[in-house]
Structure 1
Amino acid sequence: MTQVFLGLGSNRQRRQHMQAGLRALHDRFASRQRPMKVARMYESAAVGFDGHDFYNTVVGFHTDLPLTALSEVCKQIERANGHPSSLPKYSPRTLDIDLLLYGDLVCAKPIQLPRPEVLFNAFVLWPLAELAPSYKHPETQQSFAEIWQNFNSEQVLKPIEFRYPALPYLITPESDKEAAF
């Protein structure tokens, strides 16, 4: 089983699409033995283009899917939520799911891992540091808590109140359950 972390974001019908994305990932990957854990929800300005603010979070879970199969599942969930793969990188999104880390894998293809944004976008790093503070970046060997503590950016990001879907194996910030990664 491989520990994976995914970044989720939406700036179009944000609540609806973030809840749908969490539900779809939960239904595919979570179980009593392997729950899915989610960070707080954050609101951030669009990066790279002028657009509505985004909702962002990070989820973590274990999977036995190979990297390419996991990537395809994420793309299927995006498409089911109105995100065609033909959109330019910097554009509005109904639901965007980015594979941030796949265990300790470092590679350039089929996708670049760890995802570079982990180190320079607050909307990825803060929820990742919250969700897995002691987990180490495969290249820098620093914990995500350390990276976040030393992070310096002008990016505006704030935690928001968010009603997570009521799912049996989803550990949310409001849950009284603890799951260490």
Structure 2
Amino acid sequence: MPSAAGSPDVTSRSALRKLSAAGAREVISSRFFATPCFPPGAGPDYVNAAAGLTFDGGPEDLLAVLHGIEADFGRERVQRWGQRVLDLDLIAAGEAVLPDAETYRAWLDLPLDEQTQRAPDRLILPHPRMQDRAFVLVPLAEVAPEWRHPVLGKTVAEMVEALPQEARDEVVPL
């Protein structure tokens, strides 16, 4: 959805600039992509991108920065997967598996019917659904194709290749 800054792509570019202003360094970004909303029917289609960066704090600190930037653009966390002007997700932090391998595995193996009903009460990294989502992996492949998932052992490029072609085709460069 548009924000006070403008259209979704303008909002996203502005958010990238705010990341740098908040202490992120070496920020690189993929192209911007049009993608179907997730879950289907949750609102208008999205603009997605991926960014790689260096940050001096821990993953929780970076997540707080991301949430602060979302709030700066008018994001209110009212409904999970509800319509929003900006959604900045922390997908991975190097080789970190958070909060621990056992908890991560539980979220990774969560049955499909429970995935929409439950939300973790803490940061889970890498994102336990990243390997299933073309809207995450296709942009991520532009900035970190050789990053290797610390649990699954696959690179981003390998995870993209494993997605159905139909899912990859839904991620369209703007």
Q: Aligning the two structures, in what range does the TM-score lie when normalised by the shorter sequence?
A: 0.7 to 0.9
One of 137, 143, 159 as aligned partner of 2:173? 159
Q: Show the 5 A alignment for 1:1-181.
A: 11-12=1-2, 13-30=7-24, 34-50=25-41, 51-85=43-77, 87-108=78-99, 110-152=122-164, 154-155=166-167, 156-160=170-174
Shift of 1:49: 4.2
Residue 8 of structure 1 is matched in structure 2 by none
Residue 111 of structure 2 is matched in structure 1 by none
More strand by share: 1
Aligned partners of 2:33 and 2:58: how far apart in 1? Answer: 29
Residues 66-108 of structure 1, C-alpha deviation per residue, up to 9 Å, x if partnerless? 22211111111000000012x2122111111000001211124
Secondary structure at 2:90 match in 1: strand
Runs of 4+ in 1 over 4 A off after TM superposition: none
Gaps of 5+ in 1: 1-10, 161-181
- Say how many residue pairs are matched: 146
Residue 174 of structure 1 is matched in structure 2 by none
Secondary structure at 2:146 match in 1: coil
RMSD: 1.6
Aligned partners of 1:157 and 1:114: how far apart in 2? Answer: 21
- Given that 2:9 and 2:32 are in contact with CA atoms closer than 8 Å, whether structure 1 keeps it comes out as no
Instruction: Tell me: higher relative CO, structure 1 or 2? Use CA pairs within 8 A at least 6 residues apart.
Output: 1
Amino acid at match of 2:139: P
- Given that 1:117 and 1:124 are in contact with CA atoms closer than 8 Å, whether structure 2 keeps it comes out as no
Q: Identical aligned pairs, as a percentage?
A: 29
Residues 46-72 of structure 1, C-alpha deviation per residue, up to 9 Å, x if partnerless? 111422110000100111202221111
More helix by share: 2
Residue 171 of structure 1 is matched in structure 2 by none
TM-score (norm 1): 0.74
Aligned partners of 2:80 and 2:88: how far apart in 1? Answer: 12
Gaps of 5+ in 2: 100-120
